[in-house]
Amino acid sequence: MSSAVFYFSKSGVSEKVAKNIAERLKCPCTRLMDTKSWKGPLGFVKGGYYSTQEKLVTLHSISVQPMDYDNICIVSPVWASKMVPAVRTFIRLYKDSLKNVHIVFTLAGDNPSKAITNFLQEVPNAEPIAFKQKSVLNNSYLNDLYAFIENFSNLNDE
Ligand SMILES: Cc1cc2nc3c(=O)[nH]c(=O)nc-3n(C[C@H](O)[C@H](O)[C@H](O)COP(=O)(O)O)c2cc1C
């Protein structure tokens, strides 16, 4: 069975996780980019506002078609206890055609539960996991990540 990774990353943490997953699964890794600027203090405030309000954004086109894969792994930072606008937009665009969805959150704090609950409202059967930014940066998250994606690997072997 085939897998593909899609991610958004502002400061590189989720990108590191996404690339790790794709390397492990030997599958495509696609960055989701939108047309907004999230830079600086203003970008931070705007990001929090867009996430809280569940606003959608315009995504740059992607060459990998998510509906062509059996397993989709999405990696998103937590913004204001929710998924980022680019990931919400991606989900809204494709969710009816996605098969098995796995969501990996990265966050600065301790509590991903609101973000996970909010994601599951959009994709009820998704498999969630979350990693603290600190554990990604010092690589202590790797064992847990590999256990999470072992599922994919097994499926890929079938
Ligand atoms: C606009 C904004 C809002 C954030 N809100 C939260 C939050 O509610 N809870 C949390 O734990 N971390 C929050 N963070 C921190 C990010 O989730 C964390 O640093 C993440 O790992 C960054 O991923 P990235 O480097 O891939 O962008 C926020 C960061 C930004 C920029």
- Dist. CA 80 → ligand 1 center (Å): 8
User: Ligand 1: does its nearest atom lie under 6 Å from the Cβ of 11?
Assistant: yes
Residue 128 near residue 150, CB atoms below 8 Å? no
- Over the stretch 110-143, which tens digit does the pLDDT of each residue have? 999 999 999 999 999 999 999 999 999 999 999 9
Quick one: which atom of ligand 1 is closest to the CA of 45? 1
104 touches ligand 1 (CB under 6 Å): no
Burial of 33 per CB tally in 10 Å (0-12, 13-18, 19+): middle
Is a pLDDT exceeding 70 seen at residue 153?
no
* Ligand 1 atom with minimal separation from the 109 CA: 11
The CA 138 to ligand 1 mean position distance, Å, reads 17
Q: How far apart are CA 132 and CA 83, in angstroms?
A: 15
**CATH tag, 3-157:** 3.40.50.360
* pLDDT of 22: 96
Task: Quote the ligand 1 centre to 47 CA distance (angstroms).
Answer: 9
* pLDDT for res 1: 84
Q: Whose CA is nearest to atom 8 of ligand 1?
A: 80
Alpha carbons 6 and 48: distance in angstroms, whole number? 21
Nearest C-alpha to atom 22 of ligand 1 is from which residue?
77
Q: Note the pLDDT tens digit of each residue in 72-116.
A: 999 999 999 999 999 999 999 998 999 899 999 999 999 999 999
Q: Which of 72, 81, 65, 85 is nearest to 10 (CA)?
A: 85
Ligand 1 midpoint to CA 34 (Å) = 17
Q: Is the dihedral of CA 103, 141, 49, 114 positive or negative?
A: positive
Please determine, for residue 155, whether its predicted confidence score (pLDDT) is greater than 70.
no
What pLDDT shows up at residue 154? 64
Residue (of 125, 101, 102, 129) closest to 115 by Cα position? 129
Is residue 157 very low, low, confident or very high in pLDDT (cuts 50, 70, 90)? low
- pLDDT tens digits for 7-66? 999 999 999 999 999 999 999 999 999 999 999 999 999 999 999 999 999 999 999 999
Q: Strands (DSSP E) along the chain, which ranges?
A: 3-7, 29-31, 71-79, 82-83, 100-107, 127-132
90 lines ligand 1 (CB under 6 A): no
Does residue 13 line the site of ligand 1, with CB under 6 A? yes
Global confidence as pTM: 0.96
